[in-house]
Amino acid sequence: MHVAKFNRILTQIETGFNVLDSLPVVSVASSLIRATAGKVQMLVGAFLALTGTLGQLINSSDQKKWEKLTKIGLEHMTHGGLNLLRGAGEFLLGVYTYGIGNLVLFGIQFASENGFEPHVKYGIFSEKRVYLLV
């Protein structure tokens, strides 16, 4: 699968979480799912970054391939960490404000230029004709 296509799918999923996490009651469940998915994404990103880094050290003949894998890993570590933080924050916001905070968040996102799309975009490191290994 081409990285740009994979990034578009992840952007759509994250946009969906942004909408769901802005809805009272629904946000309690969706934010926990988002936080859990963020942990998994962060761990997978760490594995990819480590694999890419080791590949660069061991196989000097194919540096670009390993460097791209490292960049993809770092990108997913970053997004995973942000998703974990946002999921935990929105869970607390929903629970401790009885959903009012989620409605405020909905209004802020609805009025923003990006709407519900992620502000930190996928593809910052990985959009230059990189193909996933799987």
Inter-residue contact 87 to 21 (CB < 8 Å): yes
Q: Is residue 64 part of a domain?
A: yes
Q: Is residue 124 assigned to a domain?
A: no
One-letter amino acid identity for 17? Answer: F
**Sign of the Cα pseudo-torsion (50, 55, 56, 57, in order):** positive
Q: How confident is the model at residue 78 (pLDDT cuts 50, 70, 90)?
A: very high
| Dist CA 37 CA 14 (whole Å) | 10
Of 87, 73, 5, 75, which is closest to residue 38 (Cα–Cα)? 87
First to last CA, the chain: 7
**Does 46 reside within a domain?**
yes
pLDDT mean across residues, the chain? 89
**Count of structural domains, the chain:** 1
Q: How large is the greatest C-alpha to C-alpha distance in the chain, in angstroms? A: 57
- Using alpha carbons, list the distances in angstroms from residue 41 to 49, 59, 74: 12, 26, 11
pLDDT at 89: 94
Query: What residue numbers bound the domain in which 22 lies?
Result: 3-111
Average pLDDT value for residue range 51-67: 89
Average pLDDT of span 37-52: 96
Whether 17 and 30 have beta carbons less than 8 Å apart is answered as yes
Over residues 3-20, the mean pLDDT reads: 90
Give the predicted TM-score (pTM) of the model.
Answer: 0.85
The answer to whether residue 134 sits within a structural domain is no
Q: Is residue 39 part of a domain?
A: yes
* Residue 119 falls inside a structural domain: no
**Residue 117, domain member (yes or no):** no
In a domain, 123, yes or no: no
